[in-house]
């Protein structure tokens, strides 16, 4: 009897991850950690040269974290959306709709992970903005009817993601969506980052309060000079 082939590593099963706006703090941090875990990552930007430069820098940092890291590629946002099988949206809320609308065709049939927090800031700190569709993730669902939207990574600090002296994260990621296979895949993605865990947290219609909770965490960070995340207990 021949032995069963070894299971495909999780990072390979996840496939290529694209990050729209991946030149920013959050996108770079996610790219760094995922590349260090062996996931092929494409950083997207409005300017392809900027993506290429960020990709080079992140590749070096990822190799420093783990010599088995995969090299990161940089492309314009459209080519990033075309190349990747799973795409993370990491642009500011002010650019969310304008970024996604022209990518509907390129993102059709793909899982799109939205980590965008629609927040405003005033003298009292951060506060949640009203979004006509209900949330950033619901806006993505309305702009990308052919894609499967998952909301996740809202509460993960980019400072910690980019801190190469932090080998592990004490943090859960709330994962929301209407498609079980897609939320399972994003939970698997989160689990590739050491110390991080993806926890299913409901349907997309409940993404508004998860995005808004970031305003509370920013207040916590300011008071305690911290980079607060969330832990879900008893799961």
Ligand X SMILES: NC(=O)c1ccc[n+]([C@@H]2O[C@H](COP(=O)([O-])OP(=O)(O)OC[C@H]3O[C@@H](n4cnc5c(N)ncnc54)[C@H](OP(=O)(O)O)[C@@H]3O)[C@@H](O)[C@H]2O)c1
Binding of ligand X by 209 (CB under 6 A): no
Binding of ligand X by 115 (CB under 6 A): yes
DSSP class of residue 7 equals P
Binder of ligand X out of 63, 93, 125, 202 (CB under 6 A): 93
Residue from 145, 115, 131 nearest 211 by CA: 115
Residues of this chain, 18-57, that bind ligand X according to CB under 6 A: 21, 23-27, 45-47, 50
Nearer to ligand X, 71 or 92 (CB): 92
From residue 53 to residue 92, the character string flagging contacts with ligand X as x (rule: CB under 6 A) and all else as - is: -------------------------------------xxx
Binding of ligand X by 117 (CB under 6 A): yes
Phi, psi of 148, rounded to the nearest 5 degrees: -105, 115
Residues of this chain, 175-204, that bind ligand X according to CB under 6 A: none
Q: In whole angstroms, how close is the CB of 67 to ligand X at the nearest point?
A: 27
CA–CA gap between residue 217 and residue 152 (Å, rounded): 15
Alpha carbon separation from 107 to 33, 111, 190 (Å, rounded): 23, 8, 21
Angle of CA points 45, 48, 53, to nearest 5°? 90
Binding of ligand X by 116 (CB under 6 A): yes
Nearer to ligand X, 12 or 94 (CB): 94
Q: At 195, list the tokens.
A: 């110390």
Cβ 155 vs Cβ 173: under 8 Å: yes
Binding of ligand X by 135 (CB under 6 A): no
Nearer to ligand X, 12 or 51 (CB): 51
Nearer to ligand X, 69 or 217 (CB): 217
Nearer to ligand X, 4 or 134 (CB): 134
Q: Counting every residue, how long is the chain?
A: 235
CA 61 to chain centre: 18
Q: By rule CB under 6 A, what count of residues binds ligand X?
A: 25
- In sequence order, the 6+-apart residues with CB closer than 8 A to the CB of 161 are 26, 28, 29, 30, 32, 33
Binding of ligand X by 148 (CB under 6 A): no
Which residues contribute to the site for ligand X (CB under 6 A)?
Answer: 21, 23-27, 45-47, 50, 90-95, 98-99, 115-117, 154, 156-158
């Amino acid at each position: 009897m021949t032995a069963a082939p070894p299971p495909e590593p999780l990072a390979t099963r996840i496939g290529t991850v694209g990050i729209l706006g991946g030149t920013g703090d959050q996108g770079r941090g996610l790219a760094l950690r995922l590349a260090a875990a062996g996931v092929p990552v494409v950083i997207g930007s409005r300017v392809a040269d900027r993506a290429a430069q960020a990709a080079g820098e992140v590749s070096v940092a990822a190799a420093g974290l783990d010599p088995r890291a995969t090299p990161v590629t940089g492309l314009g946002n459209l080519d990033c959306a075309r190349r990747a099988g799973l795409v993370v949206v990491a642009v500011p809320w002010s650019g969310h709709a304008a970024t996604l609308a022209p990518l509907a065709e390129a993102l059709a049939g793909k899982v799109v992970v939205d980590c965008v927090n629609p927040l405003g800031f005033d003298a009292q700190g951060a506060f949640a903005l009203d979004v006509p569709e209900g949330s950033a993730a619901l806006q993505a669902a309305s702009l990308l009817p052919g894609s499967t939207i998952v909301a996740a990574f809202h509460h993960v600090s980019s400072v910690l993601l980019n801190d190469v002296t932090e080998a592990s994260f004490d943090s859960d990621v709330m994962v929301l969506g209407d498609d079980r296979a897609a939320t399972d895949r994003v939970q698997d993605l989160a689990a590739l980052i050491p110390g991080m865990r993806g926890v299913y947290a409901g349907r997309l219609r409940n993404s508004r309060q998860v995005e808004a909770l970031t305003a509370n965490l920013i207040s916590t960070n300011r008071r305690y000079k911290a980079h607060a995340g969330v832990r879900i207990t008893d799961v």
